[in-house]
Structure 1
Amino acid sequence: MSSSKTKAAEADAKISLPGCPDSCGGVPIPYPFGIGPGCYMEGFDLSCNTTNNGIHAPYQDKMKILNISLSLGQARVAMPVSSQCYDNTTKKDQYNIWSFTLSSPPFMFNHEKNKFVVIGCDTLAYVNFSTISQNSSYMGGCVSKCSNLESLTNGSCSGIGCCQTAIPKGVNYISVDFDDGYDNSEVFLFNRCSYALLMEDDDFMFNTRYITTEELNGQSMPTVIDWAIGNTTCDNAQANKSSFACRSKNSVCFDSSSGHGYLCNCSSGYQGNPYLEGGCQGTFAGIVVLSFLVIGTYVMLERKKLSKVKERYFQQHGGWILLEKIKTNQGFGFTIFTRQQIEQATKNFDSANIIGYGGQGTVYKGCLRDQIVAIKKCKMVNESKKKEFGKEMLILSQINHKNIVKLQGCCLEVEVPILVYEFVPNGTLFHYIHNKKQGSSISLSTRLRIAQESAEALAYLHFSASPPIFHGDVKSANILLDQNYTTKVSDFGASILAPTDEAQFVTLVQGTRGYLDPEYLQSCQLTNKSDVYSFGVVLLELLTRKPVIDYDAPEEERSLSSRFLFAMKQKKLEELLDDEIKHEDDMEVIMKVSELAKECLNMKGEERPTMKEVAEELDQIRKIRQHPWGQEYYSKEREFFLGEASHDIVIEHTSYFSINKEAEESIAVGR
């Protein structure tokens, strides 16, 4: 390329007027902004000053410019942080507060991208606003409180250690003040200084070190300001060609979204500076470059948006609490996985990897860190439990019992948390019991072992976990079998920690039809006895291999529990039992298990045994069968049925399945 062509190309690429500086300290200075006489449009003059650390930077008056956007009509500037620091020697507060007026032509603080932020443990700060028309003024502010460092959460600015509020539209004057009724005298040992600042919302993330250190003292934060040409509309401005700012013939004019002044942009297919003669150039290369810039900007914005969304979800689900626990406890066997890791492990939730699904979520088989795991993608999470989710994960992750599926980790970067469990290869007890196509036979010994192991697991949750945990959805589909057919109780999607007061009782009925405690259905109060009732239904499945709800049967016979209790009353239980276990030698054992199931199915929760008592009884029953000579002789004349008591229970169950038919049909029917 010839020298003349090179100079022409450079001239075309200029963003400032000929002979004027086009940058300062690495910051581009596009016209109408400019440095030096004759280099700027009226009101857009800048100076290139030396900062305290010896670096050059552009300033407008005392305001440091970080960058300028022609297309958006915006600039990012550095705004000082106001502070209130308590001096324990003088017992007085020391203040460093600021006010700022943006000059005209129209310069305004952007009301969408900025927030007024207050940081401190005993702080009330105000911000006064005036609009560009000077016809109105406003006052805002917020209070930030905290009693100790343990109450603070990284990333959270909701009033504990940090608060924030929006600003009105069209503001060009802001001043900050602190309420001297609030100071740091009570908290100065860990929080001597409080701060107030106006800053770009996307660039701010609260950190607890802002409380414990004084790193914000004397600092500045990025703030977005809007700018526009004049104080008129495009229609009015174009009437005076000599003063019209859109100088390039390939430019368009549009009114500023702030409602004050107008802006210029290059026409479609052109790029450059619309405020300069010949400033908008349209070449094929330019279009390609512009396209890449647009695509790149879009991708960056989307990534930033996604990052903010993931951060918000992480914070909502108590991720910071969980993360701090993991960091401080090296032996804590729990992992917080990223969304990307989960998507890779499930091949982006490929349906080919589904190993289970139902009303509350879908379970995928995946590989994380060279280990096969079960990944549960839940459908919903109780809004009232979102903030407690991290704390509950801490408790559930520490459950360590051979008959309970181990919770290994979770992903909190999504709207509904994803749970990662150990993988249990032999499917569910429901499939094992009811899949008769393969001609599978299940011995009474195996059934009793599965029942006892399941009962031991639930007893552990009720009595050994701290705090106690109620499963909330005990059923054969939530009992898994490993490679040795050892029982593993799973799926705590409906679980709750034992409530400490009445206000914590759940108010939304959840569970599975046929297993659901009738007392819970009426009161909405989930207790440990709710799990006992559901376990009683599982015992019936083991004894009969029949479905818990038979939709083809008459209404009064659809429920397995009602059919079971009616059969006991009529002394026809043998007709309901699975043919595989109808051995005369085992009828005494089956009688004991049946009596235990009936006690679990009592309509009154307080009259049901505890899961610990159920587990102990099943242990004794197994010992009776294994070593009958070592146990007390059971009289053959002992009544198998409990007479009128059984009659009463049958009537109560029949009434329950009739009265609550509509309510029961509204709950989940399985997973």
Structure 2
Amino acid sequence: MVIYKLLLKAAVLGALLGLYHKHLAQADESITKPGCQSSCGNLSIPYPSGLSDSDPHCRSHINPSSFRVDCDNSTKPPVAYFWNKSSTIEILDISVEDHELRINTLIGEFPLSSTKNKFTAIGCDTSAFFRDRHGKFSFGCMSSCSSVLDISNGSCTGIGCCETSIPRNTFDYNISIMSFSNHSGVLDFNPCSYTFVAEIGSYNFSVGDLKQLKVNPIPLVLDWALGDQTCEEAKKNSTSYMCTKNTNCTDAETGYGYKCTCLEGYGGNPYLENDCHDIDECADPEMNQCEKICHNAIGSYTCSCPNGYYGDGKKGGGIGHGCTIKPLHLMGILVGGAAGVGAIGAIGVIVLLLLCWWLPKYTKRRREAKLKQKFFQRNGGIVLQQRLFSIENNHMEKGKLFALTELDTATDHFNKNRILGQGGQGTVFKGMLLDGTIIAVKKSKVIDIGQVKQFVNEIVILSQINHRNVVKLLGFCLESEVPLLIYEFVPNGTLYQYLHDPDKEFPVSWEMRLRIASEVAGALSYLHSAAAIPVYHRDIKSSNILLDEKYRAKVSDFGASRSITIDQTHLTTMVRGTFGYFDPEYYQTSQFTDKSDVYSFGVVLVELLTGEKPISQLRAEEDRNLASYFIISMEENRLFDVLDKEVLDHGKNEEIIVVSNLAKRCLGLHGRYRPTMKEVAMELERLQSLRNPTVVRQNEEEIDCIRTESICVSSTIPMLKQSEAGIELTLMENDQSLLSPR
């Protein structure tokens, strides 16, 4: 009877487990809403995409045309097209997890993936150009060869074939191609040249392609997101917000739209109600880091050690990880073994006990020491030491080497509630040291050579900087799994938040805007011309300008910065930065100069004047780029139509015109015509002195007129005269009438 009851319970339990696993399997398979077709031929169509002939609820209610799929059932197998069959835009794959759309030709609805596509040109006498249709940027590559013998199959290094990366968030483009010597001498084996954008890996160069290219169609990968709102904006309308239970919302890199993803430890379609379900990490050894025993939990998992062992049960890679045999358990094994071969004396027992007590501790300390040394080397410790000691006057004392345990305690074990912000390079946590000092701890996301170099670079740069408007580096930690930087805590967030977040309690006043602009310009002027070694920041933007308790500006994030020698005029680097702040000249030449920082600062000035984002889909298509939108408005005498209400209400006309002129000069297409940061800083300081004579000026040498390319800073201070026709603006030298009466 007892056996029968046990068998019955086992059967019931088995049935329940079977139903549970069936539920999980169904959850895994559900990619669209109930009653909606989930495929077209061999292509899966996950929601928010949906077939055009299905019920409207089968695809996103946000921009439904962007997620419309048409299935041509006249072919075998059926073929899916974007929008409709006549568009000939065939859909090759749709990914909800990566938010990517793979197609066979370009559409302007979603931006090109900068990490999955390449710009390629083929030919022996070829110059190919990639241009944004709205004039934001252009770049290209050149390919040449004199003989077929010079060329290697599969290689696009500039001989017969060249390729280059494309910038992020590129929607619409034109590509052109030209011959720089009219194909002289290569017509026999290369009568034509070709250029295209294609998915990385979809094209392999062959010498035969020089005579006739046979690539059709060419696949492309696009990034997609929902709508044109940020997460914060979208969450305000619960009926239209599309992220469901157990999901995260992240803003699209383009600056508009948002993306939904399942929480860590969950899988499924984040756009379907209750579809993000728990993943059993223990079922897949590659999904867990347990050394011995794995226990699945909702949204996560835990590790443990078997009886007779202690530790966290995790595989090597962190201090204290793994399973270590307990002394008493080890003693039992040893004593039992000794008993099996004969009696042992009292001295032998004592020795065994001492050995059992000491050996695990020694092993643990040795393992931790090796692990710390391993992390120290992997996190760039040796390179960092060499670079810091090579700095003149050795600035190493400015950075304290923190222990991981100290930072773990300060941040409450890196609690998610302590997160101040997240970016491409890592996450910043708020912490408090034992002495009460509030700190900000920057923790890298992943470990790779590129990010270690950025980490080392940021320490070296900040170790050479001592300026009140540059965030102060307090120290670093090299013994953790990922590198950590410790900064002074700057409590009032970023300038970007105050300018573009409507939830802020008070607007940024005109006086505060002028002061912040002057402080940032002063910091950049210091970096360019007063620091021991000149430094180019390379990522100036409003989100990298922090505000302290008195709302004073602090320039931050030096991971992309570079120091240069005194006689250097530029850096030749791979193009990187933030879309909307890029210097167009840098795009074309890959040469970053001090004037590239000036251009980015000009965009920040325009943000302060207009309150607008650098890139916005809320403006007309031709006005999405703030820099060009602002310049066109000035040239058409519409300056006061685009200014922020706070600026209009409290700014004086003459002050607005000075700053607007300055911003326009900073945004010049050619770097040689832009002012230096020293000129910019002096002009903003002079403006503050005029509006507030009690402001203490800097030394007299800096107040003197600084002439660069025969243009004097003081000449840009406008003189206003009142006439019956309204306010007329006159500049002493550069006569640029900008002002429309308001």
TM-score by length of 1: 0.48
Higher relative contact order (CA 8 A, sep 6+): 1
TM-score by length of 2: 0.44
Larger radius of gyration: 1
